[in-house]
Structure 1
């Protein structure tokens, strides 16, 4: 009787061995050594070759965007490179090579520069679209580990990112090669931002939600209390009026101003404690009697971080805010700065 052939059991995941701590540490050190050597080799190669400078010039002169492409692990690297370029003054985007041949190539237009990343330089997805890129007359920069590959032969500039060996013990998983690609992308971004005169303020504008953005973009006027929320009385206000204004607005002080809004002085809850300790007859006092002149102030168009520095330097928790004519327009408290994550 003829029996059907036996179907072999599917191969499962490798059996996990007990962790050899010393071997794990040795492999970690070996990985760092291999990838460090790869980067040092890359450094020497870049210094001998003019290709890097030509690539930077192409991207600097680009009137469109730097379109970054990559498959697999190179694609993950490419997404990061595109994001780094875009955040440092070079308009860039990532287009997946496989999707490019199914319509996304329409994202690439005359005036763009393509940065194609492939360690082998022989990805089928790239080979399909290379002739189309040529017809578009789009400059092509190849970041590849094989200078004689199909991708390299089609490129206007070839950046050699080859490594001697991967950090993977099997010499298979992209490790040192992707580190080299990532470092090459960072080097391009740094060279470009320097050539563009890109400054910290420019970086902040593309990172408004980050700590640097908050430091360099948020103004005092964005955070200050204004209008009726600002505690303020005239110099002839009696002590009860002064106290009600200070406690009602909840900032621990009140400003004393003239009729035009010019600041005459300030009275704080610390001043109140000192008066009570001295046994002063509070009901007979006016705002002019208890205020101290020349309080700390900032301008409404100052950076919020500058106000925070002033408050820290003088160990105060609030400052008055004035306009260009030195008239009171607001108040800023340390809690306002903390809520905005300026401090």
Structure 2
């Protein structure tokens, strides 16, 4: 277990991260979620990460609400990531200990967390599966 206590996000994160833009439609986002089986995508504007969009954000646009009429399905799929993304998001840096990442995931019920470097550029993403892999590695070593 000592190995896990010393491990950092940078050691277990996925470095090649697929991103979306604010202009990505819900239709395209849905296809990406199906193809990649990811929990969320960072939202990129140029070199900056301006938010995240998760499966939950996607599903929220289809939730029934008694205070509004439900638009047609095609209208909902034409909406963009900008309409549903979470602009204020939790992130870690590559040196963040996995114990801290795990605590953030548990406290905020997150499935994955973007990893930003010292210049606030996307360095990777760390998911629950990465934490589980680190725990398995620790148990073996």
TM-score (norm 2): 0.81
Match of 2:8 in 1: 219
**2:83 partner SS:** helix
Q: Does the 8 Å contact 1:299/1:324 carry over to 2?
A: yes
3-state SS in 1 of match to 2:92: strand
Structure 2 CA distance, aligned partners of 1:324 and 1:242?
29
Q: Residues of 2 paired with 1:275 and 1:255: CA distance?
A: 18
2:115·2:124 contact (CA, 8 Å) conserved in 1? yes
Residue 86 of structure 2 aligns with which residue? 292
Distance in 1 (CA, whole Å) between partners of 2:88 and 2:42 is: 11
- The DSSP-based 3-state class of the residue aligned with 1:297 is coil
Alpha-carbon separation, structure 1, partners of 2:51 and 2:113: 12
Q: RMSD between aligned alpha carbons?
A: 1.9
SS class of match (1:288): helix
2:54 to 249, 268, 272: 268
Give 1:321 shift: 0.8
Give the 3 Å change call, closer, same or farther, for CA 266–312 of structure 1 in structure 2.
same
Q: Distance in 2 between matches of 1:329 and 1:247?
A: 24
Deviation at 1:245, TM superposition (A): 2.6
1:239 Cα deviation after fit: 2.0
Alignment: residue pair count? 129
* 1:257/1:264 contact within 8 Å kept: yes
Match of 1:234 among 21, 28, 43: 21
Q: Secondary structure at the match of 2:46?
A: coil
- Number of the residue aligned with 2:32: 245
| Alignment counterpart, residue 97 of structure 2, candidates 303, 306, 317 | 303
By relative contact order (CA 8 Å, sep 6+), the higher-ranking structure is: 2
Structure 1 match to 2:63: 277
Instruction: Please give the alpha-carbon distance, in whole angstroms, between the structure 2 residues aligned to 1:326 and 1:246.
Output: 25
1:4-50 alpha-carbon deviations (Å, 9 max, x no partner):
xxxxxxxxxxxxxxxxxxxxxxxxxxxxxxxxxxxxxxxxxxxxxxx
**Gaps in structure 1 of 5+ consecutive residues:** 1-210
Contact 1:266-1:293 at 8 Å conserved across structures: yes
Asked whether the 8 Å contact 1:254–1:267 carries over to 2, the reply is yes
